[in-house]
């Protein structure tokens, strides 16, 4: 993507006053029309389309094929560490609640075996440019366990000297000694779960984490050497949140000066995460209040100098995520928005391979998606039987790759250049996508997207509805049959 193309859709949100200033009646009308269930598009096709017919044998062949690709692209590694001492009611992650620390030692023994099996298949001469520990609570592990896990990874893979090495931490359980170990191992990005600093909200979501506790953790991170690479996760739409209380949280977050902020919309899906049924739905913000919370976030964060990356991410102007947006290298995968390094021979947003390790972890290769078994028992059983713990997956066809590229353009750059798609995929864009483009005409009338003979451009206001703009290009949405909604609301 050219520089001029990227800059078309990446002006700082602080210069785009029409988002925060849209009047209440218009917002109400837009929410009525567009706040519907829809994918977050951390993959396309989305996970509900994947099939159990995709087996460990398919995953083995997919890995071998990725080794033989002409691009020789760098790789990313994700490790799922599922253990938590207590459950937060908002959480939609695959977690294991236990205080039995010996469970983590057993899990690591199996994780090491999966790492070895995968490393024997992957071309490990390809450098690792991104490494991420997520969960669960990765700092549930002891210092010795963290050192042994990282050492095992480093022995089997070539970690690039400039790699982004990130971990999610919970300030309630993480110690300064653990932070020192992480720094010594080479971690350079820390993501802190914050959600909301209001005490009433914290009580109802079962996560007591006062501002002072988080501030002490931030200070410890910086004293130990994490001067940059500090991320905060916030959630809007939680019970008992009000615009006034959330603005206080935003002010307190801004004062702590994280480099990136993820402002997630709470997805209330108790049919997928049964513990969420304990949430008092009567105290949740209604649709209009929830949007007002989002508007407050946009106004506060961009007013403080953060750039709006898209959907749910903000970053400082000098952050690598912002630079990736400005140069067309912003990508979206199962870790949210990320920077994808172009391959040396063919710089292409879709060339990277992400390999997932651990229970429920997801891999995204150039032509394939796969997910590991979701329970510890089935994960252990697979490894005991000397097979990869693949539960399901999907092989992309040519139409999938084409639509994937369009959807990523909408979500990452806010721009789709028809001629670039045509040159790469050998189609005539407007005739191939006649039906999706016709569905966008109403969104164009509502000021969310601009269409012409050469390109699709997401407007500043439309960036808040980017999932809705992407959905017409999804060939599978109408084919999903379910008694319950498969996805959360788009706003």
Q: Which domains does the chain have, with CATH numbers?
A: 3-41+397-479 (1.10.10.920), 49-395 (3.80.30.20)
Answer whether residue 8 shows pLDDT above 90.
no
Q: What are 164-202's pLDDT values in tens digits? A: 999 999 999 999 999 999 999 999 999 999 999 999 999
For tokens 């992480």, the residue is 182
For tokens 């045509």, the residue is 422
For 387, which DSSP code?
S
d(CA 313, CA 298): 10
Cβ-contact 463, 337 below 8 angstroms: no
Handedness of CA 323, 326, 329, 331 (dihedral sign): positive
For 372, which DSSP code?
E
d(CA 101, CA 193): 22
Torsion of CA 237, 242, 244, 247, to 10 degrees: -10
Cβ-contact 254, 300 below 8 angstroms: yes
Average the pLDDT over 471-482 and give the result.
83
Burial annotation 99-123 (CB, 10 A radius, 16+ → b, else e): eeeeebeebbebbbebbebbbebbb
Q: What are 392-425's pLDDT values in tens digits? A: 999 999 999 999 999 999 999 899 999 999 999 9
- HEC sequence for 35-52: CCECCCCCCCCCHHHCEC
For 7, which DSSP code?
H
How many other β-carbons are positioned within 10 Å of the β-carbon of residue 203? 12
Average the pLDDT over 31-48 and give the result.
89
User: Which CA distances in Å does 453 have to 157, 419, 457, 458?
Assistant: 46, 10, 11, 15
User: Which CA distances in Å does 56 have to 125, 343, 365, 394, 433?
Assistant: 23, 27, 14, 12, 35
Q: What are 281-302's pLDDT values in tens digits? A: 999 999 889 988 998 999 999 9
pLDDT of res. 481: 54
Average the pLDDT over 481-488 and give the result.
62
Answer whether residue 304 shows pLDDT above 60.
yes
Answer whether residue 452 shows pLDDT above 90.
yes
d(CA 391, CA 50): 10
pLDDT band at 66 (very low <50, low <70, confident <90, very high): confident
Cβ-contact 137, 125 below 8 angstroms: no
The answer, yes or no, to whether the previous bond of 45 is cis (omega within 30 of 0) is yes
β-bridge partners, 355: 77
Q: What are 228-248's pLDDT values in tens digits? A: 899 999 999 999 999 999 999
| Helix runs in 24-142, H state only | 24-34, 56-67, 102-119
Residue 41 has which token pair? Answer: 């598009």
Residues 6 or more apart in contact with residue 87 via CB below 8 angstroms: 95, 97, 206, 275
pLDDT band at 73 (very low <50, low <70, confident <90, very high): confident
pTM: predicted TM-score of the whole model, two decimal places: 0.91
d(CA 160, CA 102): 32
Torsion of CA 238, 242, 247, 253, to 10 degrees: -20
């Amino acid at each position: 993507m050219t520089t001029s193309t990227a800059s078309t859709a990446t002006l700082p949100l602080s210069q785009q006053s029409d988002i925060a200033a849209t009047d209440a009646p218009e917002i109400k009308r837009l929410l009525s029309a567009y706040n519907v269930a829809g994918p977050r598009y951390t993959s396309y096709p989305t996970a509900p389309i994947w099939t159990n017919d995709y087996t460990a044998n398919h995953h083995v062949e997919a890995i071998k094929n990725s080794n033989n690709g002409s691009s020789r692209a760098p790789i990313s590694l994700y490790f799922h560490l599922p253990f938590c001492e207590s459950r937060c009611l908002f959480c939609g992650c695959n977690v294991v609640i236990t205080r039995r620390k010996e469970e983590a030692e057993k899990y690591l023994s199996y994780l090491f075996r999966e790492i070895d099996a995968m490393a024997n298949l992957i071309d490990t001469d390809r450098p690792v440019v991104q490494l991420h520990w997520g969960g669960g609570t990765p700092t549930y592990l002891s210092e010795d366990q963290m050192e042994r896990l990282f050492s095992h990874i480093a022995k089997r893979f070539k970690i690039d000297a400039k790699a982004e090495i990130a971990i999610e931490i919970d300030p309630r359980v993480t110690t300064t000694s653990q932070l020192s170990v992480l720094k010594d191992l080479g971690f350079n990005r820390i993501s802190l779960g914050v959600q909301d600093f209001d005490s009433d909200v914290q009580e109802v979501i079962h996560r007591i984490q006062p501002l002072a506790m988080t501030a002490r953790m931030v200070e410890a991170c910086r004293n130990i050497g994490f001067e940059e690479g500090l991320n905060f996760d916030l959630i809007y739409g939680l019970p008992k949140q009000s615009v006034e209380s959330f603005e206080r949280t935003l002010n307190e977050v801004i004062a702590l000066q994280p480099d990136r902020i993820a402002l997630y919309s709470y997805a209330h899906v108790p049919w997928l995460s049964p513990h969420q049924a304990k949430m008092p739905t009567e105290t949740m913000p209604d649709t209009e209040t929830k949007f007002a919370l989002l508007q407050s976030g946009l106004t506060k964060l961009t007013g403080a100098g953060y750039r709006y990356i898209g959907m749910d991410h903000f970053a400082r102007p000098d952050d690598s995520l912002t630079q990736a947006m400005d140069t067309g290298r912003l990508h979206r995968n199962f870790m949210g928005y990320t920077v994808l390094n172009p391959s040396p021979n063919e710089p292409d947003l879709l060339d990277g391979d992400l390999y997932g390790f651990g229970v429920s972890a997801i891999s995204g290769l150039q032509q394939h998606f796969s997910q590991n078994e979701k329970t510890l028992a089935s994960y252990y059983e697979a490894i005991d039987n000397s097979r990869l713990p693949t539960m399901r997956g999907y092989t992309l066809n040519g139409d999938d790759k084409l639509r994937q590229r369009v959807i990523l353009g909408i979500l990452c750059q806010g721009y789709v250049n028809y001629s670039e798609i045509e040159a790469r995929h050998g189609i005539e864009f407007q005739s191939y996508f006649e039906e999706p483009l016709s569905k966008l005409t109403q969104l164009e009338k509502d000021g969310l997207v601009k269409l012409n003979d050469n390109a699709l451009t997401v407007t500043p206001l439309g960036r808040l509805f980017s999932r809705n703009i992407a959905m017409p290009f999804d060939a599978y949405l109408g084919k999903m049959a379910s008694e319950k909604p498969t996805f959360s609301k788009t706003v």
